[in-house]
Structure 1
Amino acid sequence: MKNLLPFPDYFSRHYLCLLLLSGSLPCLAQSQVGGIVQEDNGKPLPFATVLLLSANDSLLVKGAITTEAGEYSIEGVQAGSYRMAVSMLGYQKVYSAPFFVAASTQTIQVPLLQTSAETKQLSEVTIVGEKPMFEQQLDRMVVNVQSSITSAGATALDVLERSPGVSVNRQQNKLSLLGKAGVMIMVNGKLSRLPQDALLQMLAGMNASNIEKIELITTPPAGMDAEGNAGLINIVMKKNTDLGTNGSYSATLGYGWYERPAASLNMNHRTAKLNFFADGSFLWDHYWFSLYTNRRFTEQNQMVESSNVTNRNTHHMIYNGRMGFEYSLGGQTSLNGMVAGFNNRQEQFALNQTRTVEAADLHTTIAGKDHEINQWRHLMGNLNLQHAFQNQSKLNLDLDYLLFHHNNPHWYENDFQNWQLNTQQLEFMNGTKFTPIHIGVGKADYEFKIGKTALKTGMKATLSSLDNDVAVQKLSGEEWITEPEFTQKVQMQEQIGAAYAGLEQQLNVKTRLQAGLRWEFTNTGLTASTGEKLLKRRYHYLFPSVSLSRDLSTKHTLQLSYSRRITRPTYKDLAPVFTFLDPYTSFYGNTSLLPAITDALQVVYQIQKKYFLTLQYSSDKNPITWLMRVDAGRNRHYIYPDNIKSIHTYSVNLSIPVVLTSWWQMQNNLMGNYQLNQTNYQGENLRISGYAAQLNTTHTFSLPKNFSMELTGFYKSRSYMGVLQIRPQGFVNIGLQKKLKGDKGNLSFTISDLFWNMRFEAVNNLPSLDLYQRIGIVGEPRVIRLTYSRNFGNKNIKVSNQRKTASEEERNRLGN
């Protein structure tokens, strides 16, 4: 990276203010539970599995592995009733007597636990924890992917599409959460800095069998980046915690109208001090889809209508992989490292048919061909140092470097037929796009206690640099001529600095508080190859967040939260570069975009920890949305990002699990929202409002002979995105699973979009401006997948750190 501007001096002043503020805040009182495990002869029992179980329902809360001295320690235990369980291959399983952890207690010493060797050869002990499909936590909804049958053979994007409150707009490569489109994606707590179109392609190639859970975080704490006005979606990958060598693998045969094979491998080798892990996945996705556009406007008192249909045959190949290590340096210090990357290559062969009608007479037709390659390559490296001090404080240091490279050439062939003049013209064009991106991230987090008060504080710096080189040429005779309107080389540099202080506090037995304050500074520059400064912008904001949870009774809990978020213009949004959909329709960036600020309030009411009612209100200032503009004189249709004045969103989400019989269970999630959009569009003040509803339902059936079946459904009514109206859409998926005898794996058969209802269409209908525009996409129906998956290696439960890296919160803003 070069020419990266230094952070302003007041960065340190703001951070010191936050640090001083944090020193005056109380925090969550959590306890430490410890003890010793011995054999019946008094010898220590090393490397045994110690589980902290809820005394009420025996559910697993946390776990640990005994040291060579037979000792164990579990930190961060909240108030409640528990018991300990000890298991090890070849030894009898033993339990402690129930004990209670009070909110005011710092340390609990469990009485000595002793076990004896089995007198006969034991088969391997497997501890299985059944998790519900959905779990509500203080600031997030957790979707346990491995609890879903229809996730077998599916991708991460498929799973997101089925998650409650999440909508996937595959046409514009956008995600929305609770009716809001400014959601950011994290992988293992790391915000992805990819353009969201490339990010969605990556998720479409990420095998769901490598995913443990998905967290829908609507009110993120101060320790997470403030980016994303709708909140964050965190995809947590599997991490095997067993000693020895173990892992899992899967293979899928899929077919829609074309072949769709996939495979994945996840493996882990763990010793007392060293853990090595690696995983990878492969996807070949050969599919068809159709894009269509339509627009009507008046030019010289004549009605002009232009329509286009593009049929695209796509070959999509994705390789994802990562490997890393965790090494204990002794005592309370560990050194960790990881490298990861992907190669995401998409090749499309498109046939376009365009018609222009003037005054009810056919004027022009265009038969076009577009051969496109869209390839993203990525490599990242991470180093992490963790240290726990004797006073129970913790330090975490992260350093990341990320490299992306985007290559996106086009070859166009257009056959123009003017039926009014009876002329024909053949046009050849090509386009190139090269975009290397370099990102460096440094992050430090510190947790400490003052008496019974624990505090969290940290700093973060992100330095980004990219060059976007786009050229379009047209063949004239035998010479290729550069088209200056669509050719540009732009360099962008951006620095983001952040500091935060946060707390969690058990105010009393029934009330819990989480609060924090985050400050972020942004410096963005955009420069043309000529040296012209296209954009230079500096700004900083404070982002408070607070969540309060109150147990009204043993079965009823109320949660209140508030947060402020920001949505920065992405690199792709800002770059003044054109992308063609057809000869008359193109996308382009907007250098005048401003950041959007969102204030959100949320109330969650829980009953028996399984029924949830969520109410949310959010107010967006300068929200960024996609608009459409028609140049009537040239019959050009432009789609571009822009700020509108405001969006006010009111939403309600209801989660209702139902147990109909011992073999039939349901999980229903219903969402409704009202949205008011206000802006000035092409000189006219607009107020566009409307209601929308969304239903996610999952039915699970337990069948004889180790068979199970799952039926999932999704429906979203008419909704709004800025000035665009989104038509209703939905799908039904079905899956059947067989658990093979002798722990020989699972065999799953799934069918997605059974009735071919998952279609996207957006309409911009403004009679006062004499304007009608429509754009939509239709994909393949009924994709069938057969998947075999199996775990291998040691299956006894062990516990390890779930580590995040600094740039988990960075890899999304390239194109969100």
Structure 2
Amino acid sequence: MKTFKLVLITIWLCLAQNFAQAQTNTAKISGLVLDKAQKPIDGASVTLIAAKNSATVKAVLANADGSFLFDNLAAGNYCIAVTTMGYSTYRGTPINTGTGQAIKLPAIILVQTSKALQEVAITEQKNFVEHKIDRTVVNVNALISNTGANALEVLEKSPGVVVDENGNISFKGKGGVMVMIDDKPTYLSGENLANYLKAIPASQLDQIELMSNPPAKYDASGSAGVINIKTKKSKDAGFNGTFAASVGRAKYWRTLESLNLNYHVNNINLFANMGYGVGNNYRRLDVTRTYLNGQGNITSGYLETAFFHPMSYNPNIKMGMDYYLSPKTTFGVVLTGMFTTGRNTNPVNSFITDSKGKTDSAIIAYNTTRSKFYNKGGNLNYNHQFEQKGHELSFNLDYLNYNSGRTQSFSNSSYNNAGVLGSQQNITDDLPANINIYAAKTDYAKPLSAKGKFESGLKTSYVNTDNAAYYFNVLNNVSTVDNNNSNHFIYKENINAAYVNFNKEYKRFSAQFGLRAENTNVSGHQLGNAQSPDSAFTQHYTSLFPTGYVLYKLDTAGSHTLNLSYGRRIDRPYYQDLNPFVTILDKYSQFEGNPFLKPQFASEYQLTYGYKSCFSLTVDYNVINDYQVEYDMQKGDIFLATTMNLGQRVHWAFEIYWALKPVKWFNFTLNGELDHNQFSGQLVNSFINNSTTYLYVNEVNQFNFTNGWAAELSAFYLSPARDAQFTHIYREQINVGISKKVLNNKGTIKLSARDIFKGNYSAGNITNIPNVLATYHNDNGNRSVTAGFTYNFGTTPKNEKRRNSSAESEQDRVRN
């Protein structure tokens, strides 16, 4: 509860300060920012400065009509400064607010400058979180504690995102998130997705876009929405780059290095991101199972302690070229590659107890895994902008290949209660998998008169997965095929989609409506062996996914807004969940796929009140039918897990976002959720009808000092919760960090500590298993200390503009 107390204290202090200010600060200063033609300048930076010492008091961006407002001002003398690209800086004469009145300034006229922009060193740190009309943007480098982290760990600290002990990602209290890299689906899930994200250094990431209700142009997959991870790509002309390296220790040492390069000259832009990491992780799992008879009396028990020490080596590269055929036409090619090798040693100690809790027998197991994971891909993209601003056409062709292999050995030795060896069992397996993905899409956008816009697009994708599992029983060094568990499964999926989207903006009202249609064609083929015959299945279905957004400005300045949105989405089953294989975890634990698993459909409703970019309050309602859940059961001596459809899950949530800058050197950001889930439906032999209410709080405190020093204190708290068959205890985490700019502000040294109080572990109970009581406890060794160094280098040719040329603005439109 340390984190929860810290959060409450911080909130109370900030509220106290605001309430105190509210009693004394009544003055207002408002005005307009216009150009010489008396047209408003949208997005100009307006800063309120204390006249006595030139300290920044507040800063806002001018609204679309050029208006700005500073309210709740204490008595004093202030100046207004206005800056925006392409115009000379404006600074006004002192303004006195001693009488507490509302002061309306004469229109501020900015003079356009024709001088070429000179190179400017930007030293102000980006905000951790930025809220936009349809998404929340997380600036990865704004957090010092992201030093030395991987992409999965960065996600865990993003507002509303929770990563469980198995690497499953949920967003705003809901599972079923579609994760994208640079606007492209990863097509991975579960353990495969977690391992993929762990191999990407945080130093390669730029932003994370969180969309709980994405517009129609995005794939309908992901009942909880879309998380789009954007990697770095330099926008500067000339040759430049960034080098980053870090070393950290949790239970064991690990390292991450990356090099980002960009060369932009004339009509060509070349770029490459390279990374290498050594993962050296740890996990301890404790499991208890108590078996009962029909009268509820204990008959026996099972206790297990398992240790995992996965180690991996993760080189990766992304490289490409943009070629500007004309100032309005761009052609691009992107190549990606990743090669991960790893090994995992997994000793397991298990004990069988009698009805009185006395040890009856023990199983000592030593399991080892060697794995490899290849990922390669290519993208061709084309973008053309017509004469009218915003009128554009784009094409994308993609190919991805995931190739993985895993070999395992399980050595089990059984002992009686006297410690005498009774029997030995040796099992080996070979688990190859190959996934080929082909996708093509086109998008078209056409601005309409009177602030309207029409968008449409087509997409087709084809996925072919080939998975095999070969199990062998080993006796006296002789291997015999185990046809009970060996299998070969081929899965093919084709999705064809089309969408239209229309938006319209009025003075205080704007709306956006879209419709996406997706046609899905699925076939699965389970090949037989000497013991099991072939089996196959097919599915064909077409679904419509409407979306709608309505935004209303409660005041003429647009400071207070209401936003109502609706969307329908789908979660198709994960490939490995459809795979009917039995995966052996240990002698008494297995996982089995379910080829009859159906997709789940979700309807999402949101109502949000927002105040500028510093406060929002959201009510969220989400209903999922055919909810996909993990189901654990007892099957003979084996504890078997699978995935199945539960009838329905209803989700309510109240969400708050609050950003505060009480002084120039301190930023505070708070995200909080109060979630309620109701589960109902048939779970094999029992009917579930239960609910849970829980709290999630995430806060970030950023301190920017003089001479290049900065610090950070961040924390999250997740209260106890339930998910269908599983109950979870609370989780909490506190991170701290400090950084210093060096080498003329081109380099940064960072030191961070993650989970300093070791509160982020998972534990709970597994319910609704007839005559079985089960608990689990996972310690993932999250507490760590990391030191990192980042250096920016490069030159900019004097005869080229920075990023305001027409060709460079086109580069921003290229999806790669």
Which TM-score bucket, shorter chain as reference?
Answer: 0.7 to 0.9
**One-letter code aligned to 1:523:** N
1:206 aligned onto 2:206? no
Matched, 1:432 2:430: yes
The answer to whether the 8 A contact 2:258-2:276 is kept is: yes
Aligned partner of 1:813 in structure 2 is: none
CA pair 418-697 structure 1, distance change in 2 beyond 3 A: same
1:84/1:399 Cα in 2 relative to 1: closer, same or farther (>3 Å)?
A: farther
AA paired with 1:577? Answer: F
CA drift of 1:421 comes to 11
Corresponding position: 1:417 with 2:415: yes
Which residue of 1 is the match for residue 525 of structure 2? 527
- Please list, as runs of the form range in 1=range in 2, the aligned pairs for 1:734-745 lying within 5 A after superposition: 734-745=736-747
Q: Which residue of 2 aligns with 1:372?
A: 369
Mapped to 1, the partners of 2:535 and 2:35 lie a distance apart of 61
Q: Which moved more, 1:635-644 or 1:546-555?
A: 546-555
Aligned to 2:748: 746
Comparing 204-213 with 448-457, greater Cα deviation is found at: 448-457
- 1:288 paired with 2:264, answer no
Q: Deviations over 1:17-39 (max 9, x none)?
A: xxxxxxxxxxxxxxxx999xxxx
Between the aligned residues of both structures, percent identity stands at 24
Q: Which moved more, 1:289-298 or 1:510-519?
A: 289-298
User: For residue 772 of structure 1, what is the aligned residue in structure 2?
Assistant: 773
Q: Which of these residues, 125, 146, 153, is aligned with residue 151 of structure 1?
A: 146
Residue 734 of structure 1 aligns with an amino acid whose one-letter code is V
In 2: Cα distance, 1:550 partner to 1:320 partner: 45
Alpha-carbon contact 2:166-2:190 (below 8 Å) kept? no
Counterpart CA distance in 2 for 1:704 and 1:793 is 26
- DSSP 3-state at the match of 2:707: coil
Give the 3-state SS of the residue equivalent to 1:359 in structure 2: coil
Q: Which residue does the alignment assign to 1:560? A: 564
Measured against aligned partners, the alpha-carbon deviations of 1:536-556 in whole angstroms (never above 9, x if no partner) come to 111111000011111112321
Residue 570 of structure 1: how far off its partner (Å): 1.3
TM-score, normalisation: structure 1? 0.83
Kindly tell me: are residues 804 and 490 of structure 1, through their superposed partners in 2, closer, same or farther at Cα, counting changes over 3 Å?
farther
Asked if the contact 2:413–2:421 (Cα under 8 Å) also holds between the matched residues in 1, the reply is no
2: distance between equivalents of 1:625 and 1:592?
13
Q: Secondary structure at the match of 2:194?
A: helix
Task: Say which SS state the counterpart of residue 80 (structure 1) adopts.
Answer: coil
Structure-2 residue corresponding to 1:599: 603
* 3-state SS of paired residue (1:209): helix
Report the Cα offset of residue 131 of structure 1.
Answer: 2.8
CA offset digits 1:705-763 (Å, max 9, x no partner): 32211011111011122221121111111101111252241100001110111101242
Contact 2:291 2:773 in 1 (8 A): yes
Q: Distance in 1 between matches of 2:343 and 2:782?
A: 21
> How far, CA to CA, are the matches of 1:212 and 1:642 in structure 2?
37
Instruction: Work out which of the residue numbers 511, 514, 523 in structure 1 matches 2:512.
Output: 514
- For residues 292 and 683 of structure 2, what CA distance do their matches in structure 1 show? 18
Q: What is residue 615 of structure 2 aligned with on the other side?
A: 611
Shift of 1:241: 0.7
Q: When the two structures are aligned, how many residues end up with a matched partner? A: 716
Q: Please show how residues 81-480 of structure 1 align to structure 2 within 5 Å.
A: 81=66, 94=88, 113-115=113-115, 124-127=119-122, 130-169=125-164, 171-298=165-292, 303-360=299-356, 361-390=358-387, 393-419=391-417, 424-452=422-450, 453-480=452-479
More divergent stretch after superposition (402-411 vs 201-210): 201-210
SS at match of 1:115: coil
Deviations for 1:390-442, whole angstroms, at most 9, x for unmatched residues? 45532111111111101011011111124499661121110111111111101
* More deviation, 341-350/613-622: 341-350
CA distance in 2 between counterparts of 1:306 and 1:804 reads 57
Distance change in 2, residues 1:669/1:224 (3 Å):
same
Structure 2 distance, partners of 1:388, 1:192, is: 28
Q: Which residue of 1 aligns with 2:23?
A: none
CA distance in 1: counterparts of 2:591 and 2:45, whole angstroms: 57
Give the alignment's TM-score, normalised by structure 2. 0.83
Structure 2 distance, partners of 1:56, 1:744, is 25
Mapped to 2, the partners of 1:116 and 1:257 lie a distance apart of: 53
- Give the secondary structure class of the aligned counterpart of 1:696: strand
Distance 1:326 1:78, change over 3 A: farther
Q: Distance in 2 between matches of 1:342 and 1:130?
A: 31
Distance change (3 Å), C-alpha of 1:156 and 1:537: same
Q: Provide the rounded CA distance (Å) in 2 between the counterparts of 1:456 and 1:614.
A: 28
Q: Distance in 2 between matches of 1:746 and 1:378?
A: 32
SS of the residue 2:281 aligns to: strand
CA contact (8 A) 2:562 2:607 kept: yes
Residue type at the aligned position of 1:114: S
Q: 1:630 aligns with which of 634, 639, 642?
A: 634
Distance 1:275 1:307 in 2: 59
Q: Following TM superposition, by how much is the alpha carbon of 1:629 offset from its aligned partner in structure 2, in angstroms?
A: 0.5
Aligned to 2:573: 569
Unaligned runs of 5+ in 2: 1-33, 49-61, 68-81, 93-109, 797-801
Change (3 A) 1:546 1:527: same
Asked if 1 retains the 8 angstrom alpha-carbon contact of 2:554 and 2:561, the reply is yes
Unaligned runs of 5+ in 1: 1-32, 36-51, 60-76, 88-92, 99-109, 809-816
Say if 1:326 and 1:335, in contact at 8 Å, map to a contact too: yes
Quote the residue 1:732 is aligned against: 734
Could you tell me which residue of structure 2 aligns to residue 66 of structure 1? none
